[in-house]
């Protein structure tokens, strides 16, 4: 007989105290939060879309998928690599989880159990205020940069967060060592010694914990932070390629993010795709073979990035505004992820959608063949958009 699983939730907006932003984490109330007005994410209408039936996925104009919110809680547990916040009586704070569907919870809890038994007794303790940026799936390049690392922009906006100990990845050092982008990003950030809060991804009891409402996806504030952190903020693109006084000019590279010998989510006709793109001046690259700093440098010099749906497209955010993103995907994986990256980066966006092929239990990992005629049209639209 199956045992029913019950999830007990605590909603800060229903039981906490709403305060001005500057007071979050500064007053003595056990639960405080602030709603924050942030710039809207302006999404561009696709310059090319070969399957009009998916147009509703790519709206045109300003959107606010996740209202910006910052929270502070006293006497709670930070649980697992992805930043669940749990009260001593066992309630999960709703604002600390992106999704509550069964699959997402199993995924997150599986990673929590993967960190056990840990290196401490039942839990560690943080007597100083902690700012926790770790969020959903931070062992993935896109989610780490976008959903965790970029949330450090709050340290410039909230006094209590700027003075707090910091958790970013949610994984212990031995696990972070398998994800070199984590250490590379933290090195670029250059936090003073002693700023990071030790955390092994299991349980940490916090006297006071500050965290942004968990969300996923790019936003103007996140894009600005990433560009500033990696030294590519303020780059501009001119129609004639001439440099204007006091500014850096974005490059003219055209890059294709190749899947190569990847075991899943393969582009089955990739040789033909690369041949077609080569005729348009594209160079095939493998971001996974480069360090994070090398990836930033490469993509900062690009004007058009094309590639299959995947973490490598995250690097389009480092292009100077006015570039273009051409995403290749299949009908079971049509999502707005890189449409948002294009919008936040100030780029044009095109999508070429195929049908998935082969037997795959998980649509995210399905293989597909690209419609070459549609790809050619999408690339021509992208070239026209950046001229």
pLDDT at 269 over 80: yes
- Domain identity same for 357 and 287: yes
- Domain identity same for 137 and 164: yes
Q: What is residue 7's predicted lDDT score, i.e. its pLDDT?
A: 85
Q: What is residue 329's predicted lDDT score, i.e. its pLDDT?
A: 96
pLDDT at 173 over 80: yes
Q: What is residue 213's predicted lDDT score, i.e. its pLDDT?
A: 96
Question: Minimal CA–CA distance to 155: which of 202, 127, 192?
Answer: 192
Contact of 291 with 180, CB cutoff 8 Å: yes
What is d(CA 215, CA 67) in angstroms, rounded to the nearest whole number? 9
pLDDT tens for each residue of 2-60 = 566 788 999 999 999 999 999 999 988 999 999 999 999 999 999 999 999 999 999 99
What one-character DSSP code corresponds to residue 148? I
- Domain identity same for 356 and 212: no
Boundaries of domain holding 16: 9-36+66-216
- Domain identity same for 308 and 355: yes
Burial 141-153 (b: 16+ CB within 10 A, else e): bbbbbbbbbbbbb
pLDDT at 241 over 70: no
Q: What is residue 113's predicted lDDT score, i.e. its pLDDT?
A: 84
Contact of 24 with 72, CB cutoff 8 Å: yes
What is d(CA 190, CA 97) in angstroms, rounded to the nearest whole number? 28
Which of 185, 216, 247 is the endpoint of a domain? Answer: 216
Tokens of residue 277, six digits: 């793109």
pLDDT at 122 over 80: no
Question: Looking at the domain assignment, is residue 53 inside a domain?
Answer: no
Does 245 or 181 have the greater pLDDT score?
181
- For the segment 256-265, the average pLDDT, to the nearest whole number, is 83
Question: Looking at the domain assignment, is residue 281 inside a domain?
Answer: yes
Q: What's the total number of domains in the chain?
A: 2
- Of the chain, the percentage scoring pLDDT greater than 70 comes to 94
In order of 1, 2, 105, 121, 136, the CA distances from 5 in angstroms are 13, 9, 12, 27, 21
pLDDT at 245 over 50: no
pLDDT at 247 over 60: no
Q: What is residue 242's predicted lDDT score, i.e. its pLDDT?
A: 43
- Give the global pTM: 0.93
- Domain identity same for 258 and 111: no
Tokens of residue 15, six digits: 């039981």
Q: What is residue 239's predicted lDDT score, i.e. its pLDDT?
A: 56
Question: Looking at the domain assignment, is residue 206 inside a domain?
Answer: yes
- Domain identity same for 197 and 269: no
Enumerate the β-bridge partners of residue 305: 255, 325
pLDDT tens for each residue of 55-87 = 999 999 998 877 899 999 999 999 999 999 999
pLDDT at 164 over 60: yes
- Domain identity same for 31 and 180: yes
Contact of 184 with 306, CB cutoff 8 Å: no
DSSP letter for each residue of 338-377 = HHHHHHHHT-EEEEEEE-EES--SSGGG-EE---HHHHHH
- Domain identity same for 328 and 361: yes
CATH number of the CATH domain containing 363: 3.40.50.2300
pLDDT at 244 over 70: no
Which of 216, 247, 282 is the endpoint of a domain? Answer: 216
Tokens of residue 136, six digits: 């959903």
What is d(CA 353, CA 128) in angstroms, rounded to the nearest whole number? 49
- Domain identity same for 28 and 167: yes
Q: What is residue 335's predicted lDDT score, i.e. its pLDDT?
A: 94
pLDDT tens for each residue of 286-303 = 998 999 999 999 999 999
Q: How many CA within 13 A on the CB side of residue 263?
A: 0
Q: Would you tell me how many other CB atoms lie within 10 Å of the CB of residue 92?
A: 18
Band (pLDDT 50/70/90 cuts) for residue 364 is confident
pLDDT at 121 over 70: no
Question: Looking at the domain assignment, is residue 205 inside a domain?
Answer: yes
Q: Would you tell me how many other CB atoms lie within 10 Å of the CB of residue 106?
A: 10
Question: Looking at the domain assignment, is residue 267 inside a domain?
Answer: yes
Q: Omega before 188 cis (within 30°)?
A: no
Q: What is residue 6's predicted lDDT score, i.e. its pLDDT?
A: 80
Rounded to an integer, what is the distance from CA 200 to the centroid of its chain? 22
pLDDT tens for each residue of 301-324 = 999 999 999 999 999 999 999 999
- Domain identity same for 205 and 253: no
pLDDT tens for each residue of 125-148 = 999 999 999 998 999 999 999 999
- Domain identity same for 273 and 358: yes
- Domain identity same for 190 and 300: no
Question: Looking at the domain assignment, is residue 103 inside a domain?
Answer: yes
Let me know the angle formed at the C-alpha of 293 by 292 and 294, rounded to the nearest 5 degrees: 90
Question: Looking at the domain assignment, is residue 157 inside a domain?
Answer: yes
Q: What is residue 120's predicted lDDT score, i.e. its pLDDT?
A: 58
Rounded to the nearest 10 degrees, the angle between the axes of helix 292-300 and helix 180-189 is 70
pLDDT tens for each residue of 183-232 = 999 999 999 989 999 999 999 999 999 999 999 999 999 999 999 999 99
Question: Looking at the domain assignment, is residue 228 inside a domain?
Answer: no
What is d(CA 207, CA 130) in angstroms, rounded to the nearest whole number? 8
62 — phi, psi (to 5°)? -75, 140
Rounded to an integer, what is the distance from CA 297 to the centroid of its chain? 19
């Amino acid at each position: 007989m199956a045992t029913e699983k019950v999830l007990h939730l605590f909603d800060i907006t229903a039981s906490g105290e709403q305060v001005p932003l500057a007071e979050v984490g500064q007053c003595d109330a056990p639960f405080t939060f602030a709603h924050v007005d942030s710039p809207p994410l302006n999404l561009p209408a696709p310059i090319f879309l070969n399957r009009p039936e998916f147009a509703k996925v790519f709206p045109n104009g300003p959107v606010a998928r996740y209202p910006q919110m910052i929270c502070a809680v006293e006497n709670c547990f930070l649980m697992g690599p992805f930043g669940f916040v749990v009260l001593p009586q066992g309630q999960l704070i709703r604002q600390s989880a992106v999704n509550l569907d069964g699959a997402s919870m199993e995924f997150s809890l599986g990673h929590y159990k993967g960190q056990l038994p840990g290196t401490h007794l039942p839990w560690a303790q943080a007597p100083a205020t902690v700012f926790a940026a770790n969020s959903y799936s931070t062992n993935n390049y896109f989610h780490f940069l976008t959903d965790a690392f970029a949330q450090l922009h709050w340290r410039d906006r909230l006094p209590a967060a700027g003075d707090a100990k910091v958790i970013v990845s949610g994984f212990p050092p031995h696990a972070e060592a398998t994800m070199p982008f984590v250490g590379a990003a933290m090195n670029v950030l250059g936090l003073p010694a002693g700023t990071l809060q030790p955390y092994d991804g299991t349980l940490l009891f916090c006297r006071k914990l500050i965290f942004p409402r968990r969300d996923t996806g790019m936003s103007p504030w996140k894009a600005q932070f990433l560009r500033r952190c990696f030294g590519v903020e303020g780059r501009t693109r001119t129609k004639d390629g001439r440099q204007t006084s006091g500014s850096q000019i974005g490059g003219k590279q055209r890059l294709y993010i190749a899947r190569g010998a990847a075991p899943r989510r393969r582009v089955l006709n990739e040789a033909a795709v690369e041949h077609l793109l080569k005729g348009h001046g594209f160079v095939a690259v493998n971001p996974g073979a480069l360090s994070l700093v090398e990836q930033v440098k490469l993509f900062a010099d690009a004007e058009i990035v094309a590639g299959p749906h995947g973490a490598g497209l995250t690097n389009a955010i480092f292009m100077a505004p006015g570039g273009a993103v051409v995403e290749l995907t299949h009908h079971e994986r049509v999502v707005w992820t890189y449409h948002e990256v294009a919008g936040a980066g100030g780029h044009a966006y095109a999508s070429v959608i195929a049908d998935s092929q082969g037997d795959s239990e998980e649509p995210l990992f399905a293989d597909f063949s690209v419609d070459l005629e549609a790809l050619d049209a999408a690339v021509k639209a992208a070239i026209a958009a950046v001229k």
